[in-house]
């Protein structure tokens, strides 16, 4: 396991805060209320360890297959439905949504190999990630990948806690399946828009792993 580079500043600042809070606590409080200092220590330690865990990047055997579309994120499948996409395709698509809790790995991976043909950031609200309107009203970053099988749209969506979406792709870039393409800080969601008729290989409420679980098959 490694720590994602997006976590270095947050972990460093939180480590400094952890040290300052606890040094102050043991200097000013421990003599009069040692129990309070110990509680503060364990609470702040738990928060710091959580932040380290949040930015973890586990070692995995990644899935690669020309006819496969893999999950772009860790989490739980919360939506599988047919929708009408107004952002890019202007036609019906199958939407598969993966909800990422704060406990999930938040690194995002390319569902398939291909070329980036669309990359657009949208400002928006911060509705809870499982809200039906979060796909169209929340802050989000959409990317369309194209290969010989067709096009899919992958949408990083900010949630009530997620305040920063990181996307490393650019139009014209060639990408490899299961390679990293972005990161979302704290609770969030990723939508994948697939052509109607695509074989879906996941079920509602299924727990999936980014870059590992097969989402669909061409």
Q: How far apart are CA 42 and CA 179, in angstroms?
A: 37
Q: How far apart are CA 191 and CA 200, in angstroms?
A: 14
**Active-site position among 25, 97, 135, 188:** 188
Helix axes 34-54, 8-28, angle to 10 degrees: 180
Residue 83's SS3 state is: strand
The yes-or-no answer on residue 188 being catalytic is yes
Yes or no: say if 94 and 42 are a contact pair by the CB < 8 Å rule. no
Among candidate residues 78, 82, 83, 112, the one with its CA nearest the CA of residue 208: 78
Q: Which of the residues are catalytic? A: 188
């Amino acid at each position: 396991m490694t720590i994602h580079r997006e976590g270095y500043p947050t972990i460093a600042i939180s480590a400094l805060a952890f040290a300052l809070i606890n040094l102050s606590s043991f200097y000013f409080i421990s003599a009069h209320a040692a129990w309070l200092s110990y509680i503060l220590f364990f609470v702040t330690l738990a928060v710091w360890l959580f932040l380290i865990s949040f930015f973890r990047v586990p070692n995995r055997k990644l899935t690669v297959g020309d006819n496969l579309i893999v999950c772009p994120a860790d989490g739980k499948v919360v939506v599988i439905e047919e929708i009408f996409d107004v952002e890019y395709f202007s036609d019906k698509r199958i939407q598969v949504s993966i909800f990422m809790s704060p406990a999930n790995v938040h690194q995002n991976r390319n569902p398939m190999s291909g070329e980036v043909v669309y990359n657009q950031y949208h400002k928006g609200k911060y509705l809870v990630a499982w809200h039906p309107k979060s796909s169209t009203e929340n802050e989000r970053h959409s990317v369309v990948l194209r290969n010989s099988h067709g096009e899919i749209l992958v949408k990083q969506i900010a949630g009530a806690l997620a305040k920063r979406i990181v996307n490393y792709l650019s139009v014209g870039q060639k990408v490899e399946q299961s390679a990293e393409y972005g990161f979302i800080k704290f609770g969030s969601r990723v939508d994948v828009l697939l052509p109607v008729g695509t074989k879906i290989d996941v079920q509602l409420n299924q727990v999936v792993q980014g870059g590992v679980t097969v989402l669909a098959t061409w």
